[in-house]
A and B are shown apart, each in its own frame.
Chain A
Amino acid sequence: MVEERGDLFETEASWSDASGKMLCLHTGDWRTVRPVFDKAKCNACGFCYIYCPIQCIVDDEDGIHYAADLEYCKGCGVCACECPKGAITMAPEGDYADDCGIG
């Protein structure tokens, strides 16, 4: 006998409602390499911005260049591949182990 258990659906059928929170995966955990942006080579053309499959390229603090949102960047490297100036390189996550705040 199943006792008090809250319903997962308010509806009778399989409706989803995204007006509150949306589902979200922390896809930044996926990557093994991350994009590194060399501003000196960058001409701010925006190709990385438009071609990133997950659209996680955001404005850099300087308002001119671009950066990747590392919460979600999957490390696919499309940005580096598409950059006409070779301004993006993919570096191993291991180089940034200090960033993870352990030890």
Chain B
Amino acid sequence: MAEQRKRQPKVCDYYKNEDQFSPGVAFCAGCALELNLRFISRVLGKDIIFVGTPSCSAPVLHGQNAAAWHRHGYYACTMTGVASSASGLTRYYQKAGIDATVVCHTGDGCAQDVGFQTLSGAAERNEKMIYITYDNEGYMNTGIQQSSATPFGASTSTTPSGSASRGKTTGSKNMPLVMAMHDIPYVATATLSHLEDYAKKLVKAKEKAKEGFVYLHVFCPCVVGWRIPVDSSIQVCRAAVRTNYFPLWEVDEDGYRVTQPVKDPRPVGELTGMLGKFKHLRDEELAILQGQVDHRFKVLQALCAGSA
């Protein structure tokens, strides 16, 4: 066998520091969110201040009594208060001349539902911060309830599939586009299968946060809630990108662009087939979901074309 040399993947070039998190923390085995948080920490560096809230990330981001699971500064608050608390922090740091990167880190339930008003307000004020939503398409920490990020047809504990109804009856909010419509310096989507793409976006986010509000939306599967094999989170992310269910794009002052174009997008059934929450889906329901995916991608393409 030819001599092998250790090479680290290119994404490692973006790592700013060692993992600031404790080696043993209470995320489910195989949880994409654990990778998300550790990755953000490595790329953005140890000086960021996290703003977190009750969610799957809370048991790890927030301390327990006087001890903590990581070495970042953090501020824990209610779901209704994430972007507003972050506004208070970032405004004071500016007043006091303290160089700081405030990073809100919440689930889709907070960002899109109960914390949406305050997120929208902070974006409109162009507050200098990065808001990262990890989208596991529901309220997972409290027991897999539906949120406005839950897709059409998905079975959750509050939209279960039964004889009288078959999963969520409405589609999800196109949250990244909603945030893009606030005309903020930078919006991007990312996921854990495309780490180099994600790293570049995080680095850009840190720069753009000096100008104003940055929003990142990260597709982040939940092993328990989506009923997938414990080893398949990354595969699911990859499938989401390859089916155009979750296209990877960004928008800044130069316009919209798809950062990871997919040449021959696969039918969304290849993604739903991997997920237990869609097990009950009939062909006609899948067709509706495909229609929504197609429509959404068309809108994105039009925005990209309009920016050219």
Contact = CB atoms under 8 A, between A and B. Distances in A.
Interface stretch (B23-31, B79-87, B257-265, B282-290): B23-31
A46 B8 CA distance: 6
Interface of B: 1, 4-9, 11-12, 19, 22-27, 29-32, 34-35, 38, 42, 62-71, 192, 195, 229-235
Contacts of B64: 16, 23
A81 B234 contact: yes
5 contacts: A8-B65, A17-B67, A24-B24, A50-B9, A65-B6
A44 B2 CA distance: 12
B201 to A, nearest CB: 16
A10 B65 CA distance: 10
Interface string A1-37: 0000000111100111111011111111011000000
Nearest to A81: B231
A17 B22 CA distance: 13
A83 B5 CA distance: 17
B70 A44 contact: no
Interface of A: 8-11, 14-19, 21-28, 30-31, 40, 42-47, 49-56, 59, 63-65, 69, 71-72, 74-78, 80-82, 90
Contact of A26 (B24, B229, B234): B24
A34 B187 CA distance: 39
B69 A22 contact: yes
A23 B69 contact: yes
A50 B188 CA distance: 21
Nearest to B233: A78
Contact of B29 (A10, A18, A75): A75
Contacts of A40: 1
Contacts of B229: 77
A3 B225 CA distance: 47
B235 A81 contact: yes
B34 A23 contact: no
B30 A18 contact: no
A17 B66 contact: yes
Contacts of A54: 23-25, 27, 34-35, 38
A6 B101 CA distance: 36
Nearest to B25: A25
B66 A10 contact: yes
Given A24-B24, A54-B34, 6 more contacts: A22-B68, A22-B70, A24-B23, A24-B69, A31-B29, A53-B30
A18 B7 contact: no
B231 A80 contact: yes
Given A45-B7, A82-B234, A53 B34 contact: yes
Contacts of B68: 16-18, 22-23
Contacts of B7: 44-46
A74 B23 contact: no
A30 B70 CA distance: 21
A20 to B, nearest CB: 9
A64 to B, nearest CB: 5
B66 A51 contact: no
Contacts of B42: 55
A54 B25 CA distance: 8
Nearest to B9: A46
Nearest to A27: B24
A65 B5 CA distance: 8
Contacts of B69: 18, 22-24
Contacts of B62: 16
Contact of A76 (B1, B25, B30, B70): B30
Contacts of B31: 53
